[in-house]
Amino acid sequence: MLGTCKKVTISKDDTVILDGAGDKKEIEERCEQICLVERLAKLSGGVAMFKIGGASEAKVSEKKDKVTDALTATKAAVEEGIVPGGGVALLYAAKEFDKLPTTNFDQKIGVQIIQNALKAGSNMGLLLRGLKREDIQRGQVCGFICARKFTCSQYVL
């Protein structure tokens, strides 16, 4: 029980409680709990409104089509199970190559090449330039210095 009151007026949209007596902290906690339940219901209810605008009707129609495609893809992913992002899938694929049986040296080299290519994203592409993530620091510029110009390949944030 949250407390007592002398008069309650209930309308379609509002509830007014007059001369309420009770622990304010408990009442506030209950109100927050109700708000969280309402938010959860709104989020899980699947109802959303998208306001799409554009410079012309053609632009608005194009944006609507993109939103519809994104929603369809999201619904399909939720129904069928969500696949990890592309980078994670590549790392999982690289691990599967460890289990691949190789019968000769050429096959082993081929598997290593594919594994290195699949893992290149985990090293931010620096593996392709002969650098490893452990060898660089945040804010470091990785590039090639030539007598005529400096070419920057990567900037590590």
Tens-digit pLDDT profile for residues 91-110: 778 888 888 888 888 888 88
Q: Quote the pLDDT of residue 31.
A: 83
- Higher pLDDT, residue 83 or 12: 12
CA distance 86 to 79: 19
Average pLDDT over residues 122-148: 52
CA distance 30 to 141: 54
Q: Of 12-21, 22-31, 56-65, 145-154, which has the strongest mean pLDDT?
A: 56-65
Longest dimension (CA), the chain: 89
CA distance 20 to 3: 7
Q: Quote the pLDDT of residue 45.
A: 66
Per-domain boundaries in the chain:
3-45, 84-123, 130-157
155: pLDDT strictly greater than 50: no
157: pLDDT strictly greater than 70: no
